[in-house]
Amino acid sequence: MVTANNALLLMLVAASGFFDLKERKIPNKITFTGILIGILFNSITGGWTGLLQSIIGMFAGLAIFFIPFVMGGMGAGDVKLMGAIGALMGWRFSLITALYSAIVGGIMVLLHLLYTGKLRETLKKMLYTLINFLLQFAIRLGYNETVCKAYEKFSRNGHDYKKIYIPYGVAIAGGAVLVLIAYKNGYPIF
């Protein structure tokens, strides 16, 4: 059975995923409307308790992706989309959606790397970055000329990393749908 809030959620994530895929951004019209509808819907159906839960859900959704946004790992539209999901569905749902979205996003990156033939190169750069970090740590513990030479070699090989763009709104949409499917099949996750 599809409830009203589930239907609203599906419309929200479908529109967000579509725009993120097409234009590489999620418009404020969608996210702010989603937040407003979530707050109004929960206020009408749940009174003051619904309003409070919706506001807590919105702030929880915004907080989940705030640090990745500040670090440049995702766009503001993704953060606001999670806020809209939290406003509509509550903080537990937004938290589980974020976890499922990370899985979907990871699969999207893996498929992209396989499709472009850059999986091996990316894994190699990740290994160089890890070794570089460990060598920096070893240098800080005590100076060693061999460690310094190794650090110089690995730091040259790992610095030409290019950021991979994936439309994370699509990953969030996929995560939200997976949470709904899991709940519908009897997995009490929220």
- Give the model confidence (pLDDT) of 18-28 as tens digits: 999 999 999 99
Q: Quick check: 57 pLDDT over 60?
A: yes
Which of 179, 164, 165 shows the shortest CA–CA distance to 13? 179
**Which residue type, as a one-letter code, is found at position 144?**
N
| pLDDT class of 161 with cuts at 50, 70, 90 | low
Confidence (pLDDT) at 163: 64
Sign of CA dihedral 189, 84, 112, 131: negative
Element (H, E) at 27: none
Whether residue 85 contacts residue 79, with contact meaning beta carbons closer than 8 Å, is answered with no
At 155, list the tokens: 């730091």
Mean pLDDT, the chain, as a whole number? 84
Region 45-50 average pLDDT: 93
Question: What pLDDT is attached to residue 100?
Answer: 94
Nearest to 179 by CA among 169, 168, 190, 170: 190
pLDDT in tens, 106-124: 899 888 888 888 878 877 7
Amino acid 26: pLDDT: 94
Amino acid at position 173, single letter: A
Which of 5-9, 45-49, 69-73 bottoms out in mean pLDDT, i.e. has the lowest? 69-73
Per-residue pLDDT averaged across 128-134, rounded?
72
In the 8-state DSSP scheme, what is residue 190? -
pLDDT value, residue 59: 96
